[in-house]
A = this chain, B = another copy of it.
Amino acid sequence: MFSRACEYGIRACIHLAQISKEGGRSSLKAIAAAIDSPVAFTAKILQTLAREEIIVSVKGPNGGYEVEASRLDVITLDDIVDAIDGNSIYRGCGLGLKHCNAKKPCPLHFQFKKIRDELKEMLQSTSLNDVATGLHEGLAFLKR
């Protein structure tokens, strides 16, 4: 569904949301440990997310990454997916056709559209705050 990079990205953001909510900050190493991902590869992804202004990077000692608390309700999973995987999940044809649309549809166009629209709706309506809450309450897990 998503690329591995995107999976790590989402997990990292959820972790950061939880930390940031309490006014904290998490270093690259701490993030990789929290979400059980390769450190260097995670660094690349965090750089992308910082460039896209989804997270904030703080250099120097006691630095790391954080999410602005005021934006926890604004940033959605869709923002993260879009930053890393682009809009291919929504845009692309389910059967890989270049020019598939309602007027010239592939045989599964409308069936796929329904499912995709739901995925889109879910990603767009789920904020970092939403998922961080379940995590904090011990109802959900980010690794293993």
Contact = CB atoms under 8 A, between A and B. Distances in A.
Interface of A: 1-2, 4, 7-8, 10-11, 14, 77, 89, 94-100, 104-109, 111-112, 114-115, 118-119, 122, 126, 131-132, 134-135, 139-144
B108 A126 contact: yes
15 contacts: A2-B96, A7-B95, A10-B95, A77-B108, A97-B141, A97-B142, A97-B144, A98-B144, A105-B139, A106-B141, A106-B142, A107-B134, A107-B135, A115-B118, A118-B118
How many monomers of this chain does the complex have? 2
A134 B111 CA distance: 13
A42 to B, nearest CB: 13
